[in-house]
Amino acid sequence: MYYGFDIGGSKIALGVFDTERRLQWETRIATPRDSYDAFLRAVTDLVAEADARFACKGSVGIGIPGMPETDDGTLYAANVPAASGKPLRADLSRLLDRDVRLDNDANCFALSEAWDDEFIQYPLVMGLILGTGVGGGLVINGKAITGRSYITGEFGHIRLPVDAFTLMGFDFPLRRCGCGQLGCIENYLSGRGFAWLYQHYYQQPLSGEEIVALWHQGDEKAHQHVERYLDLLAVCLGNILTIIDPDLVVIGGGLSNFSAIAEGLAARLPRHLLPVASVPRIERARHGDAGGMRGAAFLHLTDTPQR
């Protein structure tokens, strides 16, 4: 059995999957925030419960926000203060007497989608998260690519390309990102960026949900706004897709619930790609909130041990 943990600042969710990648059991508890020992006990107790329930010694994978393992072997995860700065993978592998694998939550999202029954046919899958921020991951032949610092797939921190200014105007403002840089595409393509663009052009502060509701009502400004957003998304994706050339792009995050984005993107991409390039298949994520658990569990579907 494959055990997948989705660990965040408020909850630890565990999903148990069989060899056919089907969910057999799930549970969740609050994340201990003040004690590393309590955090370790929470995870090991859940593993023990799963082992007893399924009469086996299941594999353990964990998805967690941040950098799962720094150069000194410790976790960096600001939202999980009890474990941040600790050698989490080594400690859990020792306590559980098995190879525990960790990856960041965006990679687990991409891995979950790549192992979907329909998507498993594609060798190179790109996950794109359009949520509070912009992120994602890459999966090649069923294995997530992390990079040296676990930042492969941090698409949101690519800066606006010159074509964006041709589209939006050369006086288009460069916004300061939380990473410290100017002009990161996350500030324009995330859920909050989607709302900011509307306010920038129409001087009316609306939430993304309110804008989408207006779009469904046929509001002219909302339709103009969505067209502009899709044009900007296509411009920014053009550079990324030229580098990666994926077979499939799966869009997750809050904006993926707005079907017009996935449906309207493919037609805009050819003008931003090489003439010989093919537009990849573009789909909305299939597994929603379960993606973190699924992807973490499937860290063990490849034979390559974690570095």
Pick the CATH number of 2-110+289-299 from 3.30.420.40, 3.30.70.20, 3.30.450.30, 2.60.40.3670: 3.30.420.40
Pick the CATH number of 120-285 from 3.30.420.40, 3.40.190.10, 3.40.50.720, 3.30.56.10: 3.30.420.40
* Backbone CA torsion sign across 60, 150, 192, 158: negative
The residues spanned by each domain of the chain are 2-110+289-299, 120-285
The reply, when asked if residue 134 is annotated as ligand binding, is: yes
DSSP annotation string for 197-233: HHHHHHS----HHHHHHHHHTT-HHHHHHHHHHHHHH
What tokens were used for 219?
Answer: 């509001």
pLDDT at position 149, please?
84
Q: Looking at the whole model, is its pTM more than 0.95? A: no
- The gap between the terminal CA atoms of the chain, to the nearest Å, is 22
The reply, when asked if residue 303 is annotated as ligand binding, is: no
The reply, when asked if residue 219 is annotated as ligand binding, is: no
The reply, when asked if residue 216 is annotated as ligand binding, is: no
Amino acid at site 176: R
The reply, when asked if residue 135 is annotated as ligand binding, is: yes
pLDDT tens-place values along the chain, 307 residues long = 999 999 999 999 999 999 999 999 999 999 999 999 999 999 999 999 999 999 999 999 999 998 999 999 999 998 999 999 999 999 999 999 999 999 999 999 999 999 999 999 999 999 999 998 999 999 999 999 988 888 899 999 999 999 999 999 999 999 999 889 999 999 999 999 999 999 999 999 999 999 999 999 999 999 999 999 999 999 999 999 999 999 999 999 999 999 999 999 999 999 999 999 999 999 999 998 889 999 999 999 976 545 4
